[in-house]
Amino acid sequence: MRRDVFQGIADPTRREIIALLAEGKPLNLNAIADQFEISRPAISKHIKILEECNLIDIQQTGRERICELKPDELNPVSDWVKQTTNLWNSRLDALEDYLNKLQSNQ
C-alpha cells in the first residue's frame, strides 16, 4: 500500500514519535518504545507506517534498528497548512469588510 505524509501524521502516537525524533537524535526502537505505555508491537507498527510514509529512515546497526526523522518529508504538511491559513485569513478579512460595511450603513 502506498502511503503519504498525511497518513503518517494522522495518528497521535505517530506524531509523538515524530516529535521525539525531531529533537535531532536518532533513536533505536527500544528507546522510542520506552516513551510510551503501549506494547512494543504497537510501536513497531507505528514505526513501520512512518517508514512507509517516508517520514523516517531506519538503519540496521548490529542488532539495533536506529530510526531517524526525515524532516524535509514534512514539507507537504507545512505547505498545506500555509494554503489553508491563507484561505481562511482571506475569508475572515472579507467577513470583516462586510461587517464593517454593514455597521457603517446603520
Which tops the pLDDT comparison, 105 or 82? 82
- DSSP secondary structure code for residue 11 in this structure: S
Question: What is the mean predicted confidence (pLDDT) over 34-58?
Answer: 96
Q: Confidence band (pLDDT; 50, 70, 90) for 1?
A: low
Q: How far apart are CA 31 and CA 90, in angstroms?
A: 44
For the CA atoms of the chain, what is the radius of gyration?
20
H helices present in 1-74, as ranges: 5-9, 12-22, 29-33, 40-52
The domains of the chain are located at 5-104
Q: How far apart are CA 61 and CA 74, in angstroms?
A: 25
Provide the whole-model pTM: 0.82
Architecture of domain 5-104: Orthogonal Bundle (1.10)
